Chains A and B, each alone.
Chain A
Amino acid sequence: MSIQLENVNYIYGESSGQEKWALKNINLTLHDNEFVGIVGHTGSGKSTLTQLLNGLEKPSSGQILYNGQDIQAEGFSKKELRRKAGLVFQYPEHQLFEVSVIKDVEFGPRNLGLTNLEVEKRSFDALKQVGISDELLDVAPFALSGGQKRRVAIAGVLAMQPEVLILDEPTAGLDPAGRTEILELLQRLHRENNISVILVSHSMDDVARYAERILVMNQGELVLDGAPEKVFRYRKELREIGLDVPQSANILYELRDRGMDVDTNGITPEQAAQNIADYLRRQS
C-alpha cells in the first residue's frame, strides 16, 4: 500500500464566488505500514486531506495515486478504495444507527457483499480487537459511553479489513484515560495487524508519542514532514503557527537553551527524565 499525492489543490466554494483554498499544492507519499500523525489547527486543511485520501472529495487539481493508480481515473472502484483506506470520522454519532452494537459493526462488511458467516466473524473479531466485551454486543450503540462509542465506530471500519486506517480527531472530547486507551489501541492495531494508521489531531502531545512520522499543516499547506524528533527541532516555527511541541520535549529544549547539555530527543516524560538523569550523571 502506498498513497501518493501530486500537486494536490482543493478549493471551496468556486461556484458561489467566495473561493477558499483548503489545500495548496500538497506533495506527499504515505508508505506501507506507517504510523503517521497529521497535526494542524482547525481550518488547516487536515480533515479535507483525509477525505481526499479515500475519494470522498475530489481534488480541484492534482493527482492522488493509490498503489500507483490514479483514484479519479475511470474504472477505478471508489468502493474498493474506501474499503482499503478506511476512514473513521470525528463523531461516532455520525455513523452509529443500528439497534445493537454488533449489527452496527456488521453494516460495513455487509456492504462488501460477504457471506453471513464471514460478516459475523469479521464483526466479532473487530469488536474484540477494540476491546468491546461480549455483554455489550446487543446493547444499543446510543447507550454507550463516549469512549465506547468511538471504539465501536473504529470497529465498524476495522471489520472491513482496511490496509490503512485513517482517523479524524479520534480523541476529541474524551477524558485523558479514554484518550490513552484509544491511542494505545491504534498502536496495537498498527503493530499486530500491520496496518498503516493515519491519525489526524490538533494536539501535538497525542501524536508525538505514537506516530513515526509527523506532518504539520498550516492554512492548507504542508509545512513540516518528518520523524517527531526532527519536526520538534523547528520549535520556533511551530510556535509561530500556534502549535506546541510536547511538554517533555519542550522542557528538554528549554534546559538546553539555558546552558544544560541534555539530549533533546525525548518525547515521553519517561524519556525526558532519563535524558536529564543522564546529563546529571555526566556532570557529577
Chain B
Amino acid sequence: MIRDITIGQYYQGESLIHKLDPRLKVVGVLVYLISLFCFRYVIGFLVAGLFFVLVLKLSKVPFRYVIKGLKPILFLLVFTAALNLLWTPGETIWRFGILNLTKEGIYKCIFMALRLILLIIGSSLLTLTTTPNQLTDAMEYLLGPFKRFGAPVHEVAMMMSIALRFIPILLEETDKIMKAQMSRGADFESGNLMHRLRNMIPLLVPLFVSATRRANELAYAMDARCYNGGAGRTKMKPLKYHSRDYKGYGVLVVYLVLLIVVTRTVAI
C-alpha cells in the first residue's frame, strides 16, 4: 500500500542522460528552471518544451512516469490557473459577479500552467535519471567554494545522502509495522482526528525504535571504517567530465541562445 509513494524516485536506465555527469545535470536543471522565468511570450514554451522532449527521449524514461510527478501539485496547478483565469484585469469576455474572464486572463492562465508543469517535470527528470548518491556528490562539488567560509559542505552532503538512502527502507518498514499491528486488530483508517493520532502510537513507537537502532548501527559501521569527516577524504568514483559532458554544456548554451533569439524576434 505504501510502496506506491514515489519521492525523488530513480528510474533505472542506461541512457545517455543517465550517464551524464551529475554536475552537468544539476547545473542544466538550474539553468532550465531559471530560463522558464526569462521570457514573456508563450512562444518561449515551444522552445523550452521541445528541449524537454529531446532530453526525455534521450533519457528513455516513459512519459507517464514523469507525468506521475505532477499528481501532488495538481491542486496548486488548478488553483493558480483558475486564479489567473478569473482575476486578470483586461478586455472582458464574460462577467459574473467578481469573476472576470478576460482575454489577458486566458493567455496568462495558459502561460502560468505551462510554466508550472515544465518546472515540475523538468526537475523530476533530474531525480529520475540521477541516483541520490550522484546527486549529493554533485551538490558537494558545486557548493565546494563555500567550504572556504567554514560551511560544513561535506557533512551536509553526507547527511543528505544518508537521509535519502533511508527513505525507501523506512517506508518499507512502516508498511511491515502497519501490517503487523493490523494483524492484531489495529485500525489506522477510521475515527476522528484525536482517535487516529492515538492509533498511530503502535506504528510510531516501533518505527522510531528501529530508526534509532539503524542510525546507531550505521554510526558504528562508519566508525569501524575510520570515517572522520571530509578532510583528506578521497572518492572511490571521483566525478570526471567526459567529452559527452562538454557537448552537454554546449547543447545547454545552444538552447539558451535559441530561446533568447526566438522570444526576442517572435512576439506571440
Q: Taking A15-B4, A17-B62 as contacts, is the C-beta distance between A86 and B206 under 8 angstroms?
A: no
Enumerate chain A residues within 8 angstroms of B187, measured Cβ to Cβ: 79, 111
Contact yes or no, B186 A111, CB < 8 A:
yes
Is B26 interfacial (CB 8 A cutoff)?
A: no
Is B179 interfacial (CB 8 A cutoff)?
A: yes
Contact yes or no, B177 A94, CB < 8 A:
yes
Contact yes or no, A111 B176, CB < 8 A:
no
User: Which of B183, B186, B205 has a CB less than 8 Å from the CB of A87?
Assistant: B183
Contact with A along B200-224 (1 / 0, CB 8 A): 0110011001100100000000000
User: Which of A56, A86, A112, A142 has a CB less than 8 Å from the CB of B209?
Assistant: A142
Is A54 interfacial (CB 8 A cutoff)?
A: yes
User: Which of A16, A51, A111 has a CB less than 8 Å from the CB of B179?
Assistant: A51
Count of A interface residues, CB-CB < 8 Å = 28
Enumerate chain B residues within 8 angstroms of A89, measured Cβ to Cβ: 176, 179-180, 183
Which residue of the partner chain B has the closest CB to A112? B185
Which residue of the partner chain B has the closest CB to A159? B184
Is B182 interfacial (CB 8 A cutoff)?
A: yes
Enumerate chain B residues within 8 angstroms of A13, measured Cβ to Cβ: 3
Contact yes or no, A156 B182, CB < 8 A:
no
Contact with B along A78-108 (1 / 0, CB 8 A): 0100110011110101111100000000011
- Give Cα A111–Cα B185 distance, bound, in whole angstroms: 5
Contact yes or no, A95 B62, CB < 8 A:
no
Is A127 interfacial (CB 8 A cutoff)?
A: no
A84 nearest CB across to chain B (Å):
11
Is A160 interfacial (CB 8 A cutoff)?
A: yes
Enumerate chain B residues within 8 angstroms of A252, measured Cβ to Cβ: none
- Give Cα A184–Cα B131 distance, bound, in whole angstroms: 47
Contact yes or no, B206 A94, CB < 8 A:
yes
Contacts between chains A and B (CB distance < 8 A), count: 69
Is A215 interfacial (CB 8 A cutoff)?
A: no
User: Which of A88, A96, A108, A142 has a CB less than 8 Å from the CB of B185?
Assistant: A108
Enumerate chain A residues within 8 angstroms of B64, measured Cβ to Cβ: 17
Which residue of the partner chain A has the closest CB to B205? A97
Is A8 interfacial (CB 8 A cutoff)?
A: no
Which residue of the partner chain A has the closest CB to B202? A97
Enumerate chain B residues within 8 angstroms of A79, measured Cβ to Cβ: 185, 187
Is A157 interfacial (CB 8 A cutoff)?
A: yes
User: Which of A91, A93, A111, A142 has a CB less than 8 Å from the CB of B184?
Assistant: A111
- Give Cα A96–Cα B205 distance, bound, in whole angstroms: 8
Contact with B along A105-149 (1 / 0, CB 8 A): 001100110000000000000000000000000000010000000
Enumerate chain A residues within 8 angstroms of B202, measured Cβ to Cβ: 95, 97, 107
Q: Taking A15-B4, A17-B62, A111-B187 as contacts, is the C-beta distance between A93 and B206 under 8 angstroms?
A: yes
B residues apposed to A, CB below 8 Å: 3-4, 62, 64-65, 173, 176-177, 179-187, 201-202, 205-206, 209-210, 213
Q: Which 5 A-B pairs have the closest CB atoms?
A: A111-B185, A97-B205, A108-B184, A95-B180, A87-B183
